[in-house]
Amino acid sequence: MSTPTRRHDGSAALLTGRAAAVALAAILTASFMELLDATIVSVAAPAIARDLGAGQAALQWMMAGYTLAVGAGLITGGRLGDLYGRRRVFLLGLAAFMLASAGCGLAPSPGALVGMRVVQGLAGGLMIPQVFGIIRASFEPGARARALGAYGAVLGLASVAGPLLGGLLVEADLFGLGWRAIFWVNVPIAVAALAAGARFMPESRSPGRTRLDLAGAALAAAATTLLLLPLIQGRDWGWPWWGFAVLALSAPVAALFLLRQRRLTGRGGQPILDPALLRVRAFAGGLAVSVLFFGAIGSFFLLLSLYLQLGAGRSAMETGLVILPYAVGSIVTSGIGVRFAHRAVLVGGTLLLAASQVVLLLMVGDSAGPAYWELAVPLFAGGLGLGLTAPSLINVVLAGMPARDAGAAGGVLTTITQIGNALGVAVLGGVFFARLDGSLRDGASGLLAYGDALASILPWQVACYVAAAALMFLLPRNART
């Protein structure tokens, strides 16, 4: 059996042979679980709502709470790995993810499930930043390239497996668990990954001095929560005046966050976000593009799943099969997007996504409900657009950054994609449920009411994609600029 070898300076262990294969399998397994749990809930949401009596806001929090928690944990998680050891933090995050998954599977109420989903997301925020650090520090150059390629393949596989596996597990009703199986399946997989990681994964740390800006992380999380809370809960609260006050309070808290970051930078500290980066055109444009682009995507599968199951009466498995062409389309073009990584490709992919939503808009108002292939064609086209854009967007943005700032900017951009995703669930989900309630009050049938609700968000998604495409002209021409 091959064992880890040391670099000449003794700073970190390099993996070879079987040890490299097993350690990589542990890393990819954990990454697959985290990515899978971002999408698998969308197909199971109607079953969760029926079983737990979850309301509309709870369904939104199940998605938004997870993605927001992942985003909140990414930068701090990366710093913790640099400071205390990437292997240690990775295994800690994986163990926490496993326990939170079990907590989701045992959840007796919507509130408990949402809480466990937030814990899951925080655990994912600990795990995922360690993946790239471990690969960079522990694999030889040739193996490192192959490992990163395998990670990219896992991204595509998770996008396909999410809706399919969610539908299959709900329909199979394993051991009478129903929707709870989508969470319990993580436990044995995580146990195997923990055992492999503990046995074969070497420890590595950042050679430089790392400090944690916990106060800054708390302010950023508070500002985002104050923004999302009234957007998601406002309808259930009846839109009281204090709900708008909470929403308005997010602005001064965000200003305090920026003020702290500026002062920390002035003292030579390590801020979460260096305010000077906001003056770089590519970075500022990239932030706006990420919020719009991923905000449009964020709620789409949850709301489409509700339309297909509660409106059109499709089963969870049928819903997964309807969504499958979208995932397949993204896999078909993701290699092209990464290979060319050009602004023109990003704009073309984003406009293709917008066009696919326009076609879908023309179909969902059908009183008989669209057939499988009528849905499959625009969803496949949307997947093609996603594959052209999402894999290389951050790399194109970073091409316009000074090399010394690329790492910090990449971490912030990755976090913003998660926040944009959560904002999409909050805002577009709110529009969807408000229209649904109105249509049901007016006496519309389930199919027409859900079709009307889905149709209400599609123009907003198209507008987000078109605006994102326009803002992409602020970005560098390609990732090799």
Six-digit token string for 185: 């399946």
Inform me whether the pLDDT recorded for 10 exceeds 60. Answer: no
Residue 13 host element (H or E): strand 13-14
Q: Which residue has the tokens 């002209």?
A: 473
Residue 95, classed as helix, strand or coil, is: helix
Q: What pTM does this model have?
A: 0.86
Cα radius of gyration (the chain):
22
Q: Which of 136-140, 225-229, 362-366 has the highest mean pLDDT?
A: 225-229
Distance CA 293, CA 52 (A): 32
List the one residue out of 390, 316, 381 whose CA is nearest residue 156: 390
Domains 13-202 and 276-481 share a fold: yes
CATH topology of domain 276-481: Growth Hormone; Chain: A; (1.20.1250)
Cβ(316)–Cβ(167) below 8 Å: yes
Six-digit token string for 71: 């985003």
Of 111-120, 228-237, 300-309, 394-403, the range with the lowest mean pLDDT is 394-403
pLDDT classification of 149: cutoffs 50, 70, 90: low
Distance CA 481, CA 471 (A): 18
Cβ(399)–Cβ(282) below 8 Å: yes
* pLDDT for the residue numbered 9: 39
Pairing type for strands 5-6 and 13-14 reads antiparallel
Six-digit token string for 310: 């509660």
Distance of CA 465 to the CA centre of its chain: 18
Inform me whether the pLDDT recorded for 63 exceeds 60. Answer: yes
Residue 211, classed as helix, strand or coil, is: coil
* pLDDT for the residue numbered 8: 42
Six-digit token string for 425: 């669930």
Q: How far apart, in Å, are the Cα atoms of 63 and each of 157, 206, 303, 433, 457?
A: 20, 33, 11, 15, 17
Distance CA 309, CA 311 (A): 6
What's the length of the chain? 481
Residue 14, classed as helix, strand or coil, is: strand
Domain 13-202, architecture per CATH: Up-down Bundle (1.20)
Domain ranges of the chain: 13-202, 226-271, 276-481
* pLDDT for the residue numbered 6: 46
Q: How far apart, in Å, are the Cα atoms of 364 and each of 138, 166, 324, 449?
A: 50, 23, 18, 10
Torsion region of 136: left, alpha or beta (phi above 0 gives left; psi -120 to 50 gives alpha): alpha
* pLDDT for the residue numbered 443: 83
Q: 73 exposed, middle or buried (CB, 10 Å; 0-12, 13-18, 19+)?
A: buried
Average pLDDT, the chain: 86
Inform me whether the pLDDT recorded for 4 exceeds 70. Answer: no
* pLDDT for the residue numbered 190: 93
**What backbone torsions phi and psi does residue 475 show, to the nearest 5 degrees?**
-90, 160
